Chains A and B, each alone.
Chain A
């Protein structure tokens, strides 16, 4: 690897390889990309290990730019008290969880934390509606209006979503449908019927999808 004094020491490399799911090449590449985000004069090895990069800079990485969850990802992996900057080790943690060889267990754990927008340890209806909004797109025409979302989400029981063919259903289209799907989601995943999805329930849902591990990947 081309080094202009920015090579990590062997012991550090071995330690990173032991504690993360990354290979040596991936770690070196990550270090190089991280150093590119730092200002020119701070790119030595020691400084790069201590420095912290702001959220905006990390979000400018091409691998994260197009991701609707990019902010949540950075916040989850950030270890600073204000959760708005990433150190090199946080960056390695991020890449390790999103790497090829990470276990589905750790991936689902972090996926849960990413989707938990209010950081309360469960996915409640607000988290889910925010999640669906992120998935369906950023434009105004694809998002739901606040009143539509609020109107129907509080129904979690079996009655919701079944046999509901109201007169305006087809015309409202997306709005009505997405609330319906939220009820469906809760009905399918919430085993203890408390209106929220906790980590175990989430991991249970994820375990049924064999394609999760291959889609939950970011490669530099």
Chain B
């Protein structure tokens, strides 16, 4: 990291010590600082001679550094440091203050960016970063030439660099420069190459298209034949008559390719799950990257003040609403901050812990009760021997499940009023956790009910059809109940609160609850895809409908959530929830069904096999007999799929990659801390120099007014150097 300091300094040549690879310590640097040191000594001597009082202590001198009496500013009557106009003039031309305003600074900044773009240099090298919080002055590249580039020269340099880029890159850089249109046009004219090329139009919302496509693909990749498992034949369709192995009818169709239905079914489901898995993991890692940024600390006050105003608001009443919201947010933030800082007494802590424990116990108890209810009801349904004809009675179990799923979260919300968390984000997380546990437990019991009990009781019937139908019924019930919830929960509440003429009575839109509902619906789809391949199509239709209903209800009935909603952070949480309990659970369920459960004998593509997985094994055996040409497939099957070694290897690799990434992030955090310390030390140095400057100007002022025969040579040299900048 090199900076240019444009003042003349005597840098004595010190011989490079070959063994000394560390940076020189500040203690060795008295020679380097010698000339500077001398100047400061002289100034202090003069000031002491005049008997000026330097010991003005600032109120709360933390920001100005407390390492010496020289670090404190002279305070004016209002408490702010008062600088002379000459000092202010120099302050105003400091690079850190001009970058926001002056054209020349912007041009030189973009010149260096263009240079970096051309040389493809990425981040600055870490080895140039000083390892201590006070890196030595020797590390800086001291330019001994005090000439500063004029704006025209800077512009010429930028133009030259721009000419070396392609048209698209040049336009991209020009578009992103914070200059006015006329200035950009000027630069463009100057840097235009002799033959202009056409620029390709590509600025569409490609990302939104892709994500929508991806979403519909996940849901719609499956074969769109008839809805349930039982319909599918177990034959190889279009089989040429040559091999009578399967004992099926020979349809002598010349052009038809043989289509092995069992294999196709298995592989379709498998590939679909695999693609979903890859997409979810990719999406999750992107989300993680965005929200858990390396240097991110809280900084919530600054972000609220700088980023919370929505500029799209055009109505007066909406703008007033925003004002109120922001004011409330700021007040709440400050109240929380004060609450956190107040030392909590042990008694209060114990009380809060007790209340927390009690509420958790109640919630878990409710979950247990719900689980028991579902279990006993399912056993009841089995024992009462309802057959498939009486559809009405079959709806009972989905009804009970949906009622519990709807009612228990309300109960949790009521219980959560008792406990008072310090941060609203924690409240949201706790609510999500409780809802999640409830849903996972209920779904687990249902899965056991289907794969464990139903398979046994429906021995001579098509149990897969039954499970598929159960899942379909669950999905439809869930849809109906969500609609009812939207209607009752939001519309009726709003009407009631309007009657009572409360201004802020509108219900808040419960984002977390709704997202959990969506995840639950998606889990049902994934669970059911093996038994009812058309279920995702139903899910798509349901989601489309639900989206518009929810949107209308939201606009009409609800108000925005009061607390600042950290959207990116929460979306990471939701995607992880989608991946881990939801998708993983569904994948485990499907794997168990494929590997362990005996398919029914009378229906479906696996009716003659012991497990569904056997279809794959049968095919591999076919391939082995087919000849040496495709012998690699059975080899893969034997050594990669059947044996456990590749899984261990893959897990070990995955763990290694995760560990490596964690270490990299840790290292980057350390570097950021170090750089922050360096910056703050530089700030202290800056203030020190400003104060010295101020004192020199004051001395000059006083000597001009009072005395005339002072030898002002050294201060003149000093100030001349500063003025020359």
Interface residues of chain A, those whose CB is within 8 Å of chain B, are 15-16, 18-21, 23, 62-63, 65-69, 77, 79, 89-90, 92-93, 96-98, 101, 103, 105-106, 109-113, 115-116, 119-122, 125, 128, 131-132, 135-138, 142, 150, 154-165, 169, 173-174, 177-178, 180-181, 184-185, 188-195, 198-200, 202, 205-206, 208-212, 215-219
Contact = CB atoms under 8 A, between A and B. Distances in A.
Contact of A19 (B97, B184, B297): B184
Closest A-B pairs by Cβ, 8 of them: A157-B62, A192-B683, A121-B97, A66-B319, A137-B323, A89-B181, A184-B301, A188-B299
Contact of A89 (B96, B182, B313, B341): B182
Contacts of B433: none
Contact of A136 (B181, B295, B310, B323): B323
Contacts of A160: 60
Nearest to A180: B334
A137 B314 contact: no
Contact of A105 (B176, B180, B298, B684): B176
28 contacts: A16-B181, A20-B175, A20-B181, A66-B313, A79-B180, A93-B181, A106-B176, A106-B178, A111-B306, A121-B92, A121-B99, A132-B305, A132-B330, A135-B308, A137-B320, A137-B323, A142-B323, A154-B59, A154-B78, A156-B63, A191-B680, A192-B682, A194-B687, A202-B306, A210-B291, A210-B567, A211-B568, A216-B307
Given A79-B182, A142-B323, A157 B61 contact: yes
Contacts of A210: 290-291, 567-568
Given A19-B185, A116-B100, A184 B318 contact: no
Contacts of A105: 176
Given A109-B100, A155-B60, A193-B683, A185 B302 contact: yes
A125 B181 CA distance: 32
B301 A181 contact: yes
Given A19-B188, A66-B316, A194-B687, A142 B301 contact: no
Contacts of B295: 208
Contacts of A155: 59-60
B674 interface: no
Nearest to A205: B302
Pick the most buried of A21, A122, A131, A138: most chain B CB atoms within 10 A of its CB: A122
B63 A68 contact: no
Interface string B160-195: 000000000001001111101110110010000000
Contacts of B131: none
B302 A189 contact: yes
A206 B683 contact: no
A212 B564 CA distance: 13
B323 A198 contact: no
B337 interface: yes
Nearest to B167: A18
A23 B184 CA distance: 17
Contacts of B315: 66
Contacts of B176: 103, 105-106
Given A135-B305, A154-B79, A191-B676, A122 B97 contact: yes
B307 A215 contact: yes
Contacts of B301: 181, 184-185, 188
Contacts of B500: none
Contact of A18 (B171, B316, B323, B337): B171
B333 interface: yes
A75 B65 CA distance: 37
A189 B307 contact: no
A93 B181 CA distance: 6
Interface residues of B, number: 80
B326 A67 contact: no
B467 to A, nearest CB: 42
A138 B324 CA distance: 11
Contacts of A68: 309, 319, 323
Contact of B63 (A157, A161, A169, A184): A157
B331 interface: yes
B299 A198 contact: no
Interface in B307-357: 307-316, 318-320, 323-324, 326-327, 330-331, 333-335, 337-338, 341-342
Pick the most buried of B97, B306, B680: most chain A CB atoms within 10 A of its CB: B306
Contacts of A158: 62
B9 to A, nearest CB: 22
B80 interface: yes
Contacts of B300: 188
Contacts of B290: 210
A135 B567 contact: no
A110 B176 CA distance: 11
Contacts of B331: 173-174, 177
B327 A136 contact: yes
B303 interface: yes
A68 B298 CA distance: 26
B96 A110 contact: no
A212 B299 CA distance: 14
A37 to B, nearest CB: 17
B101 A113 contact: yes
Contact of A184 (B60, B203, B314, B337): B337
B296 A208 contact: yes
Given A19-B185, A93-B181, A157-B60, A177 B305 contact: no
A131 B97 contact: no
B292 to A, nearest CB: 12
A68 B316 CA distance: 11
Contacts of B333: 181
Contact of B185 (A15, A79, A90, A188): A15
A148 to B, nearest CB: 14
B98 interface: yes
B61 A162 contact: no
Given A15-B185, A20-B181, A208 B303 contact: yes
Contacts of A190: 63
A214 to B, nearest CB: 9
B311 A67 contact: yes
Interface in B382-423: none
Contact of A135 (B61, B101, B309, B337): B309
B654 to A, nearest CB: 28
Contact of A216 (B184, B188, B299, B311): B311
Contacts of A128: 305
Given A19-B171, A181-B330, A198-B100, 8 more contacts: A21-B175, A66-B316, A103-B176, A136-B323, A136-B326, A154-B78, A185-B305, A192-B680
B114 to A, nearest CB: 14
Contacts of B306: 111, 115, 202, 205-206, 209, 212
B62 A159 contact: yes
Nearest to B81: A195
Given A159-B60, A193-B680, A200 B99 contact: yes
A185 to B, nearest CB: 5
Contacts of B303: 205, 208-209
A198 B334 contact: no
A121 B101 contact: yes
Contacts of A195: 63
